[in-house]
Chain A
Amino acid sequence: MGDAYCSDCKRQTEVVFDHSAGDTVCSECGLVLESHSIDETSEWRTFANESADNDPVRVGGPTNPLLADGGLSTVIAKPNGASGEFLSSSLGRWQNRGSNPDRGLILAFKTIATMSDRLGLVATIKDRANEIYKRVEDQKSSRGRNQDALLAACLYIACRQEDKPRTVKEICSVANGATKKEIGRAKEYIVKQLGLETGQSVEMGTIHAGDFMRRFCSNLGMNNQAVKAAQEAVQKSEEFDIRRSPISIAAAVIYIITQLSEEKKPSLKDISGATGVAEGTIRNSYKDLYPHVLKIIPSWFAKEEDLKNLCSP
Protein backbone atom coordinates (compact mmCIF):
# COMPACT_ATOMS: atom_id res chain seq x y z
CA MET A 1 0.00 0.00 0.00
CA GLY A 2 1.39 3.36 -0.88
CA ASP A 3 0.66 6.60 -2.64
CA ALA A 4 1.79 7.42 -6.14
CA TYR A 5 0.76 9.59 -9.01
CA CYS A 6 -1.62 7.80 -11.38
CA SER A 7 -1.49 9.08 -14.96
CA ASP A 8 -5.10 8.16 -15.71
CA CYS A 9 -6.67 9.72 -12.60
CA LYS A 10 -4.20 12.64 -12.82
CA ARG A 11 -3.76 12.78 -9.07
CA GLN A 12 -2.16 11.05 -6.14
CA THR A 13 -4.03 7.82 -5.49
CA GLU A 14 -3.58 4.82 -3.30
CA VAL A 15 -1.44 2.22 -5.00
CA VAL A 16 -1.39 -1.50 -4.28
CA PHE A 17 1.74 -3.58 -4.80
CA ASP A 18 0.88 -7.09 -5.99
CA HIS A 19 3.80 -9.31 -4.91
CA SER A 20 2.80 -12.38 -6.92
CA ALA A 21 2.99 -10.65 -10.28
CA GLY A 22 5.28 -7.80 -9.28
CA ASP A 23 2.75 -5.12 -10.37
CA THR A 24 2.07 -1.73 -8.95
CA VAL A 25 -1.68 -1.14 -9.48
CA CYS A 26 -3.75 2.03 -8.93
CA SER A 27 -6.61 1.12 -6.61
CA GLU A 28 -9.06 3.65 -8.16
CA CYS A 29 -8.85 2.97 -11.87
CA GLY A 30 -6.89 -0.31 -11.96
CA LEU A 31 -4.06 1.01 -14.16
CA VAL A 32 -0.87 -0.95 -13.88
CA LEU A 33 1.80 1.62 -13.16
CA GLU A 34 4.86 -0.69 -13.02
CA SER A 35 5.13 -4.38 -13.82
CA HIS A 36 7.85 -6.99 -13.41
CA SER A 37 9.45 -5.13 -10.56
CA ILE A 38 12.58 -6.82 -9.24
CA ASP A 39 12.42 -8.12 -5.68
CA GLU A 40 15.50 -6.97 -3.83
CA THR A 41 14.98 -8.92 -0.64
CA SER A 42 17.25 -11.81 0.25
CA GLU A 43 17.15 -14.80 -2.06
CA TRP A 44 18.03 -17.43 0.52
CA ARG A 45 17.34 -17.79 4.20
CA THR A 46 20.39 -18.60 6.30
CA PHE A 47 20.00 -20.26 9.67
CA ALA A 48 22.50 -20.16 12.50
CA ASN A 49 22.78 -23.94 12.82
CA GLU A 50 23.41 -24.60 9.14
CA SER A 51 26.83 -25.51 7.82
CA ALA A 52 28.95 -22.63 6.66
CA ASP A 53 30.35 -24.68 3.80
CA ASN A 54 28.01 -23.67 1.05
CA ASP A 55 26.54 -20.33 1.86
CA PRO A 56 24.16 -19.85 -1.10
CA VAL A 57 24.20 -16.10 -0.68
CA ARG A 58 27.83 -15.89 -1.82
CA VAL A 59 28.79 -16.59 -5.43
CA GLY A 60 32.26 -17.11 -6.88
CA GLY A 61 35.64 -16.89 -5.19
CA PRO A 62 37.17 -14.02 -3.21
CA THR A 63 38.08 -10.92 -5.22
CA ASN A 64 41.72 -10.69 -6.11
CA PRO A 65 43.01 -7.10 -6.01
CA LEU A 66 46.02 -8.06 -8.10
CA LEU A 67 43.98 -8.86 -11.17
CA ALA A 68 42.71 -6.11 -13.45
CA ASP A 69 38.98 -6.44 -12.78
CA GLY A 70 39.21 -8.11 -9.39
CA GLY A 71 38.85 -11.55 -10.92
CA LEU A 72 35.12 -11.19 -11.40
CA SER A 73 34.88 -12.30 -15.02
CA THR A 74 33.58 -15.71 -16.02
CA VAL A 75 35.71 -18.20 -17.90
CA ILE A 76 34.16 -20.87 -20.12
CA ALA A 77 35.82 -24.14 -19.24
CA LYS A 78 36.51 -26.97 -21.61
CA PRO A 79 34.40 -29.96 -20.48
CA ASN A 80 36.25 -33.19 -19.69
CA GLY A 81 36.13 -35.68 -22.54
CA ALA A 82 33.00 -34.21 -24.06
CA SER A 83 35.04 -32.55 -26.73
CA GLY A 84 32.63 -33.66 -29.41
CA GLU A 85 30.21 -31.00 -28.24
CA PHE A 86 30.73 -28.33 -30.83
CA LEU A 87 29.15 -25.46 -29.00
CA SER A 88 31.12 -25.49 -25.75
CA SER A 89 34.56 -26.06 -27.29
CA SER A 90 34.14 -23.31 -29.85
CA LEU A 91 32.79 -20.95 -27.22
CA GLY A 92 35.90 -21.65 -25.16
CA ARG A 93 38.07 -20.92 -28.19
CA TRP A 94 36.29 -17.65 -28.92
CA GLN A 95 36.67 -16.43 -25.39
CA ASN A 96 40.36 -17.25 -25.32
CA ARG A 97 40.95 -15.40 -28.55
CA GLY A 98 39.59 -12.23 -27.00
CA SER A 99 42.06 -9.85 -25.39
CA ASN A 100 42.35 -10.83 -21.78
CA PRO A 101 44.96 -8.64 -20.12
CA ASP A 102 45.19 -10.95 -17.15
CA ARG A 103 45.68 -14.25 -18.86
CA GLY A 104 49.42 -14.45 -18.20
CA LEU A 105 48.91 -13.36 -14.61
CA ILE A 106 46.22 -15.96 -13.96
CA LEU A 107 48.41 -18.71 -15.40
CA ALA A 108 51.37 -17.55 -13.32
CA PHE A 109 49.26 -17.43 -10.16
CA LYS A 110 48.06 -20.93 -10.84
CA THR A 111 51.63 -22.16 -11.20
CA ILE A 112 52.67 -20.45 -7.97
CA ALA A 113 49.67 -22.03 -6.24
CA THR A 114 50.64 -25.50 -7.48
CA MET A 115 54.23 -25.06 -6.30
CA SER A 116 53.24 -23.79 -2.87
CA ASP A 117 50.78 -26.65 -2.46
CA ARG A 118 53.53 -29.14 -3.16
CA LEU A 119 55.68 -27.52 -0.50
CA GLY A 120 52.78 -27.17 1.92
CA LEU A 121 53.10 -23.40 2.29
CA VAL A 122 50.48 -21.20 3.94
CA ALA A 123 48.28 -18.85 1.97
CA THR A 124 50.17 -15.77 3.19
CA ILE A 125 53.34 -16.89 1.45
CA LYS A 126 51.45 -17.73 -1.71
CA ASP A 127 49.75 -14.31 -1.73
CA ARG A 128 53.03 -12.57 -1.16
CA ALA A 129 54.59 -14.48 -4.02
CA ASN A 130 51.70 -13.42 -6.24
CA GLU A 131 52.22 -9.81 -5.23
CA ILE A 132 55.92 -9.97 -5.95
CA TYR A 133 55.27 -11.52 -9.33
CA LYS A 134 52.77 -8.81 -10.23
CA ARG A 135 55.20 -6.06 -9.23
CA VAL A 136 57.90 -7.57 -11.38
CA GLU A 137 55.56 -8.12 -14.31
CA ASP A 138 54.47 -4.48 -14.24
CA GLN A 139 57.94 -3.59 -15.41
CA LYS A 140 57.86 -4.98 -18.90
CA SER A 141 61.55 -5.86 -19.01
CA SER A 142 60.98 -9.38 -17.75
CA ARG A 143 59.52 -10.74 -20.99
CA GLY A 144 62.36 -12.83 -22.32
CA ARG A 145 63.16 -14.46 -18.97
CA ASN A 146 62.68 -18.03 -18.04
CA GLN A 147 59.16 -18.00 -16.57
CA ASP A 148 59.60 -21.08 -14.41
CA ALA A 149 62.71 -19.72 -12.80
CA LEU A 150 61.04 -16.35 -12.26
CA LEU A 151 58.02 -17.88 -10.53
CA ALA A 152 60.22 -20.13 -8.43
CA ALA A 153 62.30 -17.13 -7.42
CA CYS A 154 59.14 -15.18 -6.46
CA LEU A 155 58.17 -18.04 -4.18
CA TYR A 156 61.67 -18.21 -2.72
CA ILE A 157 61.68 -14.49 -1.93
CA ALA A 158 58.17 -14.70 -0.45
CA CYS A 159 59.26 -17.50 1.89
CA ARG A 160 62.28 -15.45 2.95
CA GLN A 161 60.29 -12.30 3.59
CA GLU A 162 57.89 -14.23 5.82
CA ASP A 163 60.85 -15.53 7.87
CA LYS A 164 60.18 -19.09 6.82
CA PRO A 165 62.99 -19.61 4.35
CA ARG A 166 63.15 -22.60 2.06
CA THR A 167 66.43 -23.76 0.58
CA VAL A 168 66.88 -23.18 -3.12
CA LYS A 169 67.11 -26.94 -3.55
CA GLU A 170 63.66 -27.37 -2.00
CA ILE A 171 62.21 -24.77 -4.35
CA CYS A 172 64.03 -26.50 -7.21
CA SER A 173 62.30 -29.74 -6.40
CA VAL A 174 58.85 -28.29 -7.04
CA ALA A 175 59.73 -25.90 -9.84
CA ASN A 176 59.53 -27.74 -13.13
CA GLY A 177 62.71 -27.43 -15.06
CA ALA A 178 64.41 -24.55 -13.26
CA THR A 179 67.95 -25.20 -12.08
CA LYS A 180 69.49 -23.78 -8.91
CA LYS A 181 71.59 -21.40 -10.99
CA GLU A 182 68.62 -20.07 -12.93
CA ILE A 183 66.58 -19.54 -9.80
CA GLY A 184 69.50 -17.75 -8.18
CA ARG A 185 69.88 -15.47 -11.18
CA ALA A 186 66.16 -14.80 -11.33
CA LYS A 187 66.18 -13.95 -7.64
CA GLU A 188 68.95 -11.38 -8.12
CA TYR A 189 67.01 -9.90 -11.00
CA ILE A 190 63.80 -9.62 -9.00
CA VAL A 191 65.59 -8.04 -6.05
CA LYS A 192 67.10 -5.48 -8.39
CA GLN A 193 63.76 -4.72 -10.05
CA LEU A 194 61.96 -4.32 -6.74
CA GLY A 195 64.79 -2.12 -5.54
CA LEU A 196 64.47 0.08 -8.60
CA GLU A 197 60.75 0.36 -8.22
CA THR A 198 60.47 1.18 -4.55
CA GLY A 199 63.90 2.61 -3.81
CA GLN A 200 65.65 -0.20 -1.96
CA SER A 201 63.07 -1.46 0.45
CA VAL A 202 63.65 -5.15 -0.18
CA GLU A 203 64.30 -6.55 3.28
CA MET A 204 65.60 -10.07 3.37
CA GLY A 205 67.66 -11.33 6.26
CA THR A 206 70.48 -13.80 5.72
CA ILE A 207 69.59 -17.42 6.25
CA HIS A 208 70.68 -19.25 9.38
CA ALA A 209 70.96 -22.95 9.97
CA GLY A 210 68.45 -22.72 12.80
CA ASP A 211 65.66 -21.67 10.43
CA PHE A 212 65.72 -25.05 8.74
CA MET A 213 66.33 -27.21 11.77
CA ARG A 214 62.72 -27.89 12.68
CA ARG A 215 61.80 -28.97 9.21
CA PHE A 216 64.79 -31.20 8.58
CA CYS A 217 64.43 -32.86 11.96
CA SER A 218 60.76 -33.62 11.49
CA ASN A 219 61.45 -35.02 8.02
CA LEU A 220 63.81 -37.49 9.65
CA GLY A 221 61.46 -38.28 12.52
CA MET A 222 63.74 -37.25 15.34
CA ASN A 223 62.29 -37.05 18.83
CA ASN A 224 61.80 -33.79 20.70
CA GLN A 225 64.93 -34.05 22.81
CA ALA A 226 67.04 -34.49 19.76
CA VAL A 227 65.38 -31.58 17.99
CA LYS A 228 65.99 -29.24 20.92
CA ALA A 229 69.57 -30.37 21.23
CA ALA A 230 70.10 -29.84 17.52
CA GLN A 231 68.73 -26.32 17.65
CA GLU A 232 70.94 -25.41 20.59
CA ALA A 233 73.94 -26.94 18.91
CA VAL A 234 73.40 -24.91 15.79
CA GLN A 235 73.09 -21.69 17.81
CA LYS A 236 76.39 -22.37 19.52
CA SER A 237 78.13 -23.32 16.31
CA GLU A 238 77.62 -19.85 14.87
CA GLU A 239 80.30 -18.49 17.16
CA PHE A 240 82.98 -20.71 15.71
CA ASP A 241 84.78 -20.05 12.48
CA ILE A 242 83.28 -22.78 10.30
CA ARG A 243 83.38 -21.86 6.64
CA ARG A 244 80.47 -23.91 5.33
CA SER A 245 77.05 -23.11 3.95
CA PRO A 246 74.47 -22.93 6.79
CA ILE A 247 72.55 -25.84 5.26
CA SER A 248 75.63 -28.05 5.30
CA ILE A 249 76.28 -27.14 8.93
CA ALA A 250 72.67 -27.99 9.77
CA ALA A 251 73.00 -31.37 8.08
CA ALA A 252 76.26 -32.13 9.87
CA VAL A 253 74.78 -31.17 13.25
CA ILE A 254 71.81 -33.45 12.61
CA TYR A 255 74.24 -36.23 11.76
CA ILE A 256 76.11 -35.75 15.03
CA ILE A 257 72.95 -35.58 17.12
CA THR A 258 71.47 -38.69 15.55
CA GLN A 259 74.71 -40.60 16.00
CA LEU A 260 74.64 -39.67 19.69
CA SER A 261 71.03 -40.66 20.35
CA GLU A 262 70.12 -44.26 21.17
CA GLU A 263 67.25 -44.50 18.73
CA LYS A 264 67.34 -45.68 15.18
CA LYS A 265 70.08 -43.71 13.45
CA PRO A 266 69.39 -42.39 9.97
CA SER A 267 72.15 -43.12 7.51
CA LEU A 268 74.06 -40.43 5.67
CA LYS A 269 71.88 -41.20 2.70
CA ASP A 270 68.68 -40.46 4.67
CA ILE A 271 70.07 -37.19 5.98
CA SER A 272 71.22 -36.31 2.49
CA GLY A 273 67.72 -36.90 1.17
CA ALA A 274 66.01 -34.87 3.89
CA THR A 275 68.30 -31.86 3.73
CA GLY A 276 69.33 -31.84 0.08
CA VAL A 277 73.01 -31.77 1.03
CA ALA A 278 75.34 -34.24 -0.71
CA GLU A 279 76.80 -37.06 1.40
CA GLY A 280 80.35 -35.98 0.71
CA THR A 281 79.53 -32.46 1.84
CA ILE A 282 78.01 -33.74 5.10
CA ARG A 283 81.19 -35.75 5.72
CA ASN A 284 83.39 -32.72 5.06
CA SER A 285 81.25 -30.48 7.26
CA TYR A 286 81.45 -33.14 9.96
CA LYS A 287 85.25 -32.96 9.69
CA ASP A 288 85.08 -29.18 10.17
CA LEU A 289 82.70 -29.46 13.14
CA TYR A 290 84.51 -32.31 14.90
CA PRO A 291 87.15 -30.16 16.68
CA HIS A 292 84.41 -28.09 18.33
CA VAL A 293 81.95 -30.87 19.03
CA LEU A 294 82.48 -30.72 22.81
CA LYS A 295 81.47 -27.08 22.96
CA ILE A 296 78.59 -27.29 20.51
CA ILE A 297 76.58 -30.26 21.76
CA PRO A 298 74.65 -29.33 24.95
CA SER A 299 75.82 -31.22 27.99
CA TRP A 300 72.31 -32.32 29.02
CA PHE A 301 71.98 -34.28 25.83
CA ALA A 302 75.19 -36.23 25.65
CA LYS A 303 78.02 -36.80 28.09
CA GLU A 304 81.69 -36.61 27.31
CA GLU A 305 82.19 -40.35 26.88
CA ASP A 306 79.50 -40.50 24.25
CA LEU A 307 81.22 -37.71 22.44
CA LYS A 308 84.49 -39.61 22.60
CA ASN A 309 82.71 -42.55 21.03
CA LEU A 310 81.80 -40.47 18.04
CA CYS A 311 83.67 -41.74 15.07
CA SER A 312 86.57 -39.54 14.17
CA PRO A 313 86.33 -38.32 10.57
Chain B
Amino acid sequence: MAARRNNPSGIVPIIQNIVSTVDLDCALDLNHIALHSRNSEFFPKRFSAVIMRIKDPKTTALIFASGKMVCTGAKNETQSKLAARKFARIIQKLGFPAKFRDFRIQNIVASCDVQFTIRLEKFACTSHGAFSTYEPELFPGLIYRMKQPKLVLLIFVSGKVVITGAKKRDDFYTAFDNIYSVLAEFKK
Protein backbone atom coordinates (compact mmCIF):
# COMPACT_ATOMS: atom_id res chain seq x y z
CA MET B 1 0.00 0.00 0.00
CA ALA B 2 1.03 3.64 -0.35
CA ALA B 3 3.46 4.98 2.21
CA ARG B 4 2.03 6.73 5.24
CA ARG B 5 1.54 10.42 4.59
CA ASN B 6 3.74 12.68 6.64
CA ASN B 7 1.16 14.76 8.40
CA PRO B 8 2.89 17.21 10.76
CA SER B 9 0.70 16.07 13.60
CA GLY B 10 1.43 12.42 13.03
CA ILE B 11 -2.25 11.50 13.06
CA VAL B 12 -3.37 9.00 10.47
CA PRO B 13 -7.03 8.24 9.75
CA ILE B 14 -8.01 4.62 10.31
CA ILE B 15 -10.28 2.82 7.90
CA GLN B 16 -13.50 1.59 9.49
CA ASN B 17 -15.40 0.19 6.54
CA ILE B 18 -14.99 -0.51 2.83
CA VAL B 19 -17.86 -1.06 0.40
CA SER B 20 -17.02 -2.78 -2.87
CA THR B 21 -18.92 -4.30 -5.77
CA VAL B 22 -18.15 -7.15 -8.11
CA ASP B 23 -19.97 -8.75 -11.04
CA LEU B 24 -20.27 -12.53 -10.91
CA ASP B 25 -21.42 -12.46 -14.52
CA CYS B 26 -24.19 -15.06 -14.32
CA ALA B 27 -27.85 -15.07 -13.37
CA LEU B 28 -28.43 -16.50 -9.90
CA ASP B 29 -31.32 -18.35 -8.33
CA LEU B 30 -31.60 -16.57 -4.96
CA ASN B 31 -33.99 -19.14 -3.51
CA HIS B 32 -31.53 -21.92 -4.25
CA ILE B 33 -28.68 -19.98 -2.68
CA ALA B 34 -30.72 -19.17 0.44
CA LEU B 35 -31.86 -22.74 0.91
CA HIS B 36 -28.47 -24.35 0.36
CA SER B 37 -26.26 -22.12 2.51
CA ARG B 38 -26.28 -21.73 6.27
CA ASN B 39 -25.09 -18.18 6.65
CA SER B 40 -27.58 -16.37 4.45
CA GLU B 41 -30.99 -14.73 4.79
CA PHE B 42 -33.47 -13.96 2.05
CA PHE B 43 -36.79 -12.14 2.53
CA PRO B 44 -37.99 -11.22 -0.97
CA LYS B 45 -40.82 -9.09 0.39
CA ARG B 46 -38.38 -6.98 2.36
CA PHE B 47 -35.44 -6.78 -0.02
CA SER B 48 -34.76 -8.57 -3.28
CA ALA B 49 -31.26 -9.86 -2.48
CA VAL B 50 -29.62 -12.60 -0.42
CA ILE B 51 -27.70 -11.28 2.60
CA MET B 52 -24.74 -13.56 3.28
CA ARG B 53 -22.14 -13.21 6.04
CA ILE B 54 -18.74 -14.82 6.51
CA LYS B 55 -16.63 -14.85 9.66
CA ASP B 56 -13.17 -14.29 8.24
CA PRO B 57 -12.81 -11.52 7.15
CA LYS B 58 -15.94 -10.43 9.02
CA THR B 59 -17.99 -9.14 6.10
CA THR B 60 -21.51 -9.08 4.69
CA ALA B 61 -22.49 -9.46 1.05
CA LEU B 62 -25.70 -8.53 -0.77
CA ILE B 63 -26.11 -10.90 -3.70
CA PHE B 64 -28.58 -9.98 -6.41
CA ALA B 65 -30.33 -12.17 -8.94
CA SER B 66 -28.57 -10.42 -11.81
CA GLY B 67 -25.25 -11.72 -10.55
CA LYS B 68 -24.01 -8.46 -9.06
CA MET B 69 -22.73 -8.45 -5.52
CA VAL B 70 -21.99 -5.77 -2.91
CA CYS B 71 -19.44 -6.59 -0.19
CA THR B 72 -19.35 -4.49 3.00
CA GLY B 73 -17.61 -4.52 6.36
CA ALA B 74 -13.95 -5.08 5.46
CA LYS B 75 -11.28 -2.95 7.14
CA ASN B 76 -8.75 -3.22 4.38
CA GLU B 77 -8.65 -3.11 0.57
CA THR B 78 -7.02 -6.54 0.32
CA GLN B 79 -9.44 -7.98 2.82
CA SER B 80 -12.36 -6.62 0.85
CA LYS B 81 -11.11 -8.32 -2.29
CA LEU B 82 -10.39 -11.52 -0.41
CA ALA B 83 -13.87 -11.53 1.12
CA ALA B 84 -15.47 -10.91 -2.27
CA ARG B 85 -13.51 -13.82 -3.67
CA LYS B 86 -14.67 -16.02 -0.81
CA PHE B 87 -18.28 -15.11 -1.50
CA ALA B 88 -17.79 -15.85 -5.18
CA ARG B 89 -16.29 -19.22 -4.25
CA ILE B 90 -19.38 -20.04 -2.15
CA ILE B 91 -21.60 -19.20 -5.10
CA GLN B 92 -19.43 -21.35 -7.33
CA LYS B 93 -19.68 -24.26 -4.93
CA LEU B 94 -23.45 -23.93 -5.01
CA GLY B 95 -23.35 -24.72 -8.69
CA PHE B 96 -23.39 -21.38 -10.48
CA PRO B 97 -20.68 -20.45 -13.02
CA ALA B 98 -19.50 -17.44 -11.06
CA LYS B 99 -16.66 -15.27 -12.32
CA PHE B 100 -14.91 -12.32 -10.75
CA ARG B 101 -15.42 -9.33 -12.99
CA ASP B 102 -14.90 -5.61 -12.30
CA PHE B 103 -14.03 -5.68 -8.63
CA ARG B 104 -14.27 -2.03 -7.60
CA ILE B 105 -14.08 -0.30 -4.27
CA GLN B 106 -16.99 2.12 -4.10
CA ASN B 107 -16.61 3.77 -0.72
CA ILE B 108 -14.11 3.91 2.12
CA VAL B 109 -15.09 5.23 5.56
CA ALA B 110 -12.29 6.34 7.89
CA SER B 111 -12.17 8.09 11.23
CA CYS B 112 -9.59 9.92 13.29
CA ASP B 113 -9.17 12.21 16.27
CA VAL B 114 -7.45 15.59 16.08
CA GLN B 115 -7.03 15.61 19.88
CA PHE B 116 -8.51 19.04 20.53
CA THR B 117 -12.06 20.44 20.79
CA ILE B 118 -13.24 22.47 17.84
CA ARG B 119 -15.42 25.58 17.61
CA LEU B 120 -17.87 24.42 14.97
CA GLU B 121 -19.94 27.61 14.79
CA LYS B 122 -16.91 29.74 14.05
CA PHE B 123 -15.85 27.27 11.40
CA ALA B 124 -19.22 27.40 9.67
CA CYS B 125 -19.17 31.20 9.60
CA THR B 126 -15.87 31.60 7.80
CA SER B 127 -15.00 31.29 4.12
CA HIS B 128 -15.41 27.53 4.55
CA GLY B 129 -19.06 28.16 5.26
CA ALA B 130 -19.87 27.53 1.61
CA PHE B 131 -18.88 23.89 2.04
CA SER B 132 -20.16 23.37 5.60
CA THR B 133 -23.55 22.54 6.97
CA TYR B 134 -23.91 22.90 10.73
CA GLU B 135 -27.38 22.46 12.20
CA PRO B 136 -27.08 21.60 15.90
CA GLU B 137 -30.81 20.96 16.01
CA LEU B 138 -30.63 18.32 13.32
CA PHE B 139 -27.20 16.72 13.77
CA PRO B 140 -24.47 17.49 16.29
CA GLY B 141 -21.66 17.32 13.75
CA LEU B 142 -20.62 19.72 11.03
CA ILE B 143 -20.96 18.23 7.53
CA TYR B 144 -18.10 19.43 5.35
CA ARG B 145 -18.38 18.61 1.65
CA MET B 146 -14.87 18.92 0.28
CA LYS B 147 -14.62 19.60 -3.45
CA GLN B 148 -11.11 18.40 -4.05
CA PRO B 149 -11.00 15.44 -3.43
CA LYS B 150 -14.74 15.06 -3.57
CA LEU B 151 -15.76 13.57 -0.27
CA VAL B 152 -17.68 14.32 2.92
CA LEU B 153 -16.22 14.86 6.39
CA LEU B 154 -18.23 14.84 9.59
CA ILE B 155 -16.50 17.04 12.15
CA PHE B 156 -17.55 16.89 15.78
CA VAL B 157 -16.97 19.18 18.74
CA SER B 158 -14.93 16.52 20.51
CA GLY B 159 -12.37 16.63 17.73
CA LYS B 160 -13.34 13.36 16.11
CA VAL B 161 -13.51 13.44 12.33
CA VAL B 162 -15.23 10.88 10.09
CA ILE B 163 -14.24 10.85 6.42
CA THR B 164 -16.46 9.11 3.91
CA GLY B 165 -16.95 8.95 0.16
CA ALA B 166 -13.34 8.19 -0.71
CA LYS B 167 -12.59 5.66 -3.40
CA LYS B 168 -8.88 5.43 -2.69
CA ARG B 169 -6.78 5.52 0.44
CA ASP B 170 -4.81 8.53 -0.83
CA ASP B 171 -7.99 10.57 -1.17
CA PHE B 172 -8.76 10.59 2.47
CA TYR B 173 -5.15 11.08 3.48
CA THR B 174 -5.14 14.24 1.34
CA ALA B 175 -8.50 15.31 2.73
CA PHE B 176 -7.35 14.91 6.29
CA ASP B 177 -4.17 16.87 5.61
CA ASN B 178 -6.24 19.68 4.15
CA ILE B 179 -8.72 19.77 6.97
CA TYR B 180 -6.16 19.46 9.77
CA SER B 181 -4.46 22.72 8.89
CA VAL B 182 -7.81 24.49 8.84
CA LEU B 183 -9.15 22.97 12.02
CA ALA B 184 -6.10 23.98 14.03
CA GLU B 185 -7.25 27.62 13.72
CA PHE B 186 -10.54 26.83 15.41
CA LYS B 187 -9.19 25.06 18.43
CA LYS B 188 -11.28 25.86 21.49
A243 CB-CB contact with B under 8 Å? yes
Q: Which residue, of B124, B125, B138, B158, has the highest number of chain A Cβ atoms within 10 A?
A: B138
Chain A at the B interface: mostly helix, strand, loop or mixed?
loop
A168 neighbours in B (Cβ, 8 Å) = 137-138
Considering the complex of A and B, which 10 residue pairs feature the smallest CB-CB distances, nearest first? A184-B138, A206-B121, A245-B136, A243-B157, A200-B130, A168-B137, A241-B117, A206-B124, A206-B134, A246-B136
**With A205-B125, A206-B121, A206-B124 as given contacts, are A167 and B188 in contact (CB-CB < 8 Å)?**
no
- B135 CB within 8 Å of chain A: yes
Contact A207:B188 (CB < 8 A) given known A200-B130, A243-B158: no
Distance in angstroms between the alpha carbons of A167 and B140 in the assembled complex: 15
Residue of B130, B133, B140 near A243 (CB, 8 A) is B140
Mark each residue of chain B from 173 to 188: 1 if its CB lies under 8 Å from any CB of chain A, else 0.
0000000000000001
Any chain B CB within 8 A of the CB of A125?
Answer: no
In the complex, A188 has a CB within 8 A of chain B: yes
Judge whether A129 is part of the interface by a CB distance below 8 angstroms.
no
Chain A, 156-198, CB within 8 A of any chain B CB: 167-168, 180, 184, 188, 191
C-alpha gap A188/B135 in the complex (Å)? 10
Distance in angstroms from B23 CB to nearest chain A CB is 31
> Which residue of chain B has the shortest Cβ distance to A248 in the bound complex?
B136
Chain A interface residues (CB < 8 Å from chain B): 167-168, 180, 184, 188, 191, 200, 205-208, 241, 243, 245-247
| B121 neighbours in A (Cβ, 8 Å) | 206, 208
For residue A200, which residue of chain B has the nearest CB?
A: B130
B125 CB contacts on chain A under 8 angstroms: 205-206
Using a CB–CB distance below 8 Å, which chain B residues touch chain A? 117, 120-121, 124-125, 130, 133-138, 140, 157-158, 188
Chain A residues with CB under 8 A of B134? 206
What is the chain A residue whose CB lies nearest that of B136?
Answer: A245
Q: Given that A243-B157, A243-B158 are contacting pairs, would A206 and B138 also be in contact in the complex, using a CB cutoff of 8 Å?
A: no
**Contact in complex: A247, B137 (CB < 8 Å):** yes
B133 touches A167 (CB 8 A): no
A282 to chain B, nearest CB (A): 16
* Chain A residue at minimum C-beta to C-beta distance from B138: A184
CB distance from A161 to the nearest CB of B (A): 15
The residue in B124, B134, B135, B140 that gathers the most chain A C-beta atoms within 10 A of its C-beta is B135
A75 → B minimal CB distance (Å): 39
Contact among B117, B130, B136, B140 for A207, CB-based, below 8 A: B136
A206 touching B117 in the complex, CB below 8 Å, given contacts A241-B188, A243-B157:
no
Instruction: Report the separation of the CA atoms of residues A191 and B188 in the bound assembly, to the nearest whole angstrom.
Output: 29
Q: Are A167 and B157 in contact (CB under 8 A)?
A: no
Task: Please name all residues of chain A whose beta carbon is closer than 8 Å to the beta carbon of B120 when the two chains form the complex.
Answer: 206
Chain B residue contacts of A243, Cβ below 8 A:
140, 157-158
CA distance A241 to B117 in the complex (A): 8
User: What residues of chain B lie closer than 8 Å to A188, measured between beta carbons?
Assistant: 133
Q: How far is the CB of A163 from chain B (nearest CB, A)?
A: 14
